[in-house]
Amino acid sequence: MTRRKLPETGRAEDEVLADLQAFGARDPDYRAGRTWSLVYHLDDAHDDFTAAAWRMYSSANGLNPAAFSSLKRMESEIVSMLADLLHGPEECCGVLTAGGTESCLLAVKTYRDMARKRRGVKRPNMVIPVTAHVAWFKAAEYFGVKPRLLPMTPDHATDISRLARRIDRNTVMILGSAPEYPHGTIDPIARMAAVAARRGVPMHVDACVGGLILPFMEMNGADLPEWDFRVPGVTSISADLHKYGYAAKGASTILYRDLDLLKHQMFVHQDWPGGVFASAALLGTRPGGAYAAAWAVMQKLGVDGYRELAARTTRAVEALKAGIAGIDGLRVLGRPQGPLLAWGSDDPRLSIFAVADQLEARGWAVNRVQNPDGIHAMVTARHAEVVAEYLRDLEEAVAVVRANPDLARTGHAATYGMMAHVPLRGMVKERILDMFASMYRAGGGTLELDAQEGERPLLERWMARYVAWRARRG
């Protein structure tokens, strides 16, 4: 490993930009619609527009709302537009954040601190579905709030029959998702919020994925359950702007019913020698470009633009569902109601992870889920252009794996398959931590770069050792 050093003399701008372009040669081809997560790309013209808006405020800082009144205006208008879209009351309030994870972290911090101040709770817990986004488990670890999990029903929806029993005097919040990530199902928000209201516990809705598409799907005629501030008992909602809002990364929001709730999110230190300090969210410095790009995109698209994008997304989702249903051995997992879905195999001889490997070999970026095993897709408007090609490749991939069942024991299929079903989950966590940390060495790279240097990726080496250990034990 060779540590890179800062150049002794500055390099020419065009040379630096050429390097940046070359770095992306092996990145997923999102411009051709071949990624099914991470990127929400409309076209290069839209990227140019968001970049222009960002550039106008690239040096502005949202740390002090009194300094850049322009940014505070944008934030206030973004919050107001979202409050209107999500049927918030007149007292609705909120802040712009750097992403969905920050929004989720803030909700947990807020309700923990509120319960500590109002009820003296010292050992906080929160009731969340097992399908909740992993950001909520990160928040639980960061802020010392124990998660109490709601299991899945046989059709992969959240089982709320045990919700009331999960709540006790130390419960600081309840969570529902609209939709949840693994299967795209909207949790039974109204029923959960009714329980929350009866027990006097705040109810947060994680709409980081759905906040900027579900309202427009409903406007287009989709039959969706109510999940936003129309539901009594819902006290806060998180919604990302850089997902189906098509703003530049990173931009998300968290909205509360009233200021009394939001105050528990804020940090104030009055005795610092540098002056009185107040912060509305986790970050101090907040890039002004994100404010400007988000505001600009919302103005550019408007209700009509978002409805059209939602319609294109829905067409792609329905085409995927129909195509998957028509391929022998595949089935959609659960009952997806928004832009996310996952599918697995109902044939025990057909490895869905081997199918995923075949799709990757055909140039698609593939996400995998577990418990049960499946392939996952976050569908966007751009996918309407490629869904037919994708389904042809999916059908071919299934045929290849069906004809070659040994593919389940090779490549990523073996790694992911074993990792999903190793019974010693603590061991999996420890080894994943080792692997992940190694990617952040000074001068370190990716797992693929390690492999190029003649090393097997750490995860595959560990899995091989685990397989050998299991074989010795019989």
Tell me, yes or no, whether 308 and 441 share the same domain. Answer: no
Asked if residue 229 lies in contact with residue 250, where contact means CB atoms within 8 angstroms, the answer is no
Rounded to an integer, the average pLDDT of 250-258 is 95
Q: What is the pLDDT of residue 51?
A: 94
Tell me, yes or no, whether 251 and 350 share the same domain. Answer: no
Residue after which a domain boundary falls, among 412, 442, 457: 412
Spatial strand order in the sheet of 374-378: 330-332, 340-345, 374-378, 367-369
Residue after which a domain boundary falls, among 284, 299, 314: 299
**pTM of the predicted structure, to 2 decimals:** 0.87
- Residue 88 placed within a domain: yes
CATH of the domain at 88: 3.40.640.10
Query: How confident is the model over 179-219, as pLDDT tens digits?
Result: 999 999 999 999 999 999 999 999 999 999 999 999 999 99
- Residue 383 placed within a domain: yes
Tell me, yes or no, whether 189 and 266 share the same domain. Answer: yes
Tell me, yes or no, whether 86 and 231 share the same domain. Answer: yes
CATH of the domain at 369: 3.90.1150.10
CA distance 125 to 116: 12
- State the total domains in the chain: 3
254: Cβ–Cβ under 8 A, 6 or more apart, which residues? 94, 95, 97, 103, 106, 107, 236, 237, 238, 265, 281
Beta strands 125-129 and 146-150, pairing class: parallel
Q: What is the pLDDT of residue 203?
A: 98
Question: Per-residue pLDDT for 434 more than 70?
Answer: no
What is the span of the domain harbouring residue 363? 303-412
Tell me, yes or no, whether 114 and 245 share the same domain. Answer: yes
Residue after which a domain boundary falls, among 232, 265, 299: 299
Q: Name 341's bridge partners.
A: 377
Q: What is the pLDDT of residue 113?
A: 97
Q: What is the pLDDT of residue 371?
A: 87
- Residue 19 placed within a domain: no
Tell me, yes or no, whether 325 and 273 share the same domain. Answer: no
Question: Per-residue pLDDT for 251 more than 80?
Answer: yes
Tell me, yes or no, whether 213 and 315 share the same domain. Answer: no
Query: How confident is the model over 305-315, as pLDDT tens digits?
Result: 999 999 999 99
Tell me, yes or no, whether 191 and 85 share the same domain. Answer: yes
Tell me, yes or no, whether 280 and 367 share the same domain. Answer: no
Question: Per-residue pLDDT for 464 more than 60?
Answer: no
Q: What is the pLDDT of residue 470?
A: 53
The closest alpha carbon to 253, from 362, 128, 106, belongs to 106
| Range scoring the smallest mean pLDDT among 33-42, 45-54, 390-399 | 33-42
CA distance 126 to 103: 16
Tell me, yes or no, whether 267 and 407 share the same domain. Answer: no
The closest alpha carbon to 83, from 72, 95, 73, belongs to 95
- Residue 15 placed within a domain: no
Tell me, yes or no, whether 293 and 307 share the same domain. Answer: no
Burial 188-205 (b: 16+ CB within 10 A, else e): bbbbbbbbbbebebbbbb
Q: Tell me the pLDDT band of 168, cut-offs 50, 70 and 90.
A: very high
- Residue 10 placed within a domain: no
Tell me, yes or no, whether 257 and 372 share the same domain. Answer: no
CA distance 317 to 323: 10
Q: What is the pLDDT of residue 126?
A: 98
Phi first, then psi, for residue 171 (nearest 5°) are -75, 125
- Residue 46 placed within a domain: no
Question: Per-residue pLDDT for 335 more than 50?
Answer: yes
- Residue 26 placed within a domain: no
- Residue 38 placed within a domain: no
